[in-house]
Structure 1
Amino acid sequence: MLFRVDPARPVPLADQIAACVRRGIADGTVRPGERLPPARELASSLDVSIHTVLAGYQHLRDEGMIELRRGRGATVREGLRADRAAVLDLVHDLVAAARRIDLDDEELVELVRHAASGP
């Protein structure tokens, strides 16, 4: 799995790390049951803090994408659907776009509800 982060981007590094995993799951390069690189190893290879990697992994755990187990590391959840990862990645992009134009959470939710109810 290829991880790329760009400190010059306005997106926090932990979010960029989580997005790399989501995209890998969505495009099939990362499969359910696969172990992610150890946080210390990934931090070293990306030249970021281990806390940054752990924060990215925590985001993924909170989204239900991975399991974190002490001593066993991070593993992509079994039974995880690639399309769920793709939608989550789009949701993160949507929220970032809404933030750029100062759209508040209620306005964003209303827009999504309107879009989901049809034209």
Structure 2
Amino acid sequence: MLLRVDPASPRPLFEQLAVQIRVAVVDGELRSGERLPAARDLAASLEINQHTVLHAYQVLRDEGLVELRRGRGAVVTARATEQYDRLGGAIEEVRREAGRLGLPLSAVAAMIDRPEENR
């Protein structure tokens, strides 16, 4: 798994990392029980602050995607991979339906991103 950050992006660095890790789980690149890189090592390779990586890991922990274990680091949870597998199937169905309706995926993404009170 290759993680990258764009310092020029308006999205915070920790959020960029969290998104990439979520995508890796959805794509099956990361599976249950797999360890994420040590925060210190990942921070050094990306030339960012270690606390930025830890912040991303804590966000993912709060979502239930990873467990943070003292001495073992961040480990992908079984629950997360099951949930993301189900979500991936639902997303694929939405993609197929959008294709049948001739809707661009950007329109579907905008619908998903729209706040509930505006639906």
In the superposition, the TM-score normalised over structure 1's length comes to 0.72
Per-residue deviation at 1:54? 0.2
Which residue does the alignment assign to 1:59?
59
Q: Based on CA coordinates, which of the two structures has the bigger radius of gyration?
A: 2
User: Which ranges of structure 2 fall in alignment gaps of 5 or more residues?
Assistant: 91-108
User: Which ranges of structure 1 fall in alignment gaps of 5 or more residues?
Assistant: 88-92, 99-107, 115-119
- The answer to whether the Cα contact below 8 Å between 1:32 and 1:78 also exists between their aligned partners in 2 is yes
* Pairing of 1:58-97 with structure 2 (within 5 A): 58-80=58-80, 81=82, 82-83=84-85
- The structure whose RCO (Cα within 8 Å, separation 6+) is larger is 1
2:16 is the counterpart of 1:9: no
CA distance in 1, matches of 2:22, 2:86: 9
SS of match in other structure, 2:74: strand
Q: Quote the sequence identity (%).
A: 52
CA distance in 2, matches of 1:76, 1:32: 5
- The answer to whether the Cα contact below 8 Å between 1:43 and 1:50 also exists between their aligned partners in 2 is yes
Which residue does the alignment assign to 2:116?
109
Amino acid in structure 2 at the alignment position of 1:109: E
Q: Which runs of 4+ in 1 moved over 3 A?
A: 83-87
**Pairwise CA RMSD:** 2.2
SS of match in other structure, 2:31: coil
- The answer to whether the Cα contact below 8 Å between 2:66 and 2:74 also exists between their aligned partners in 1 is yes
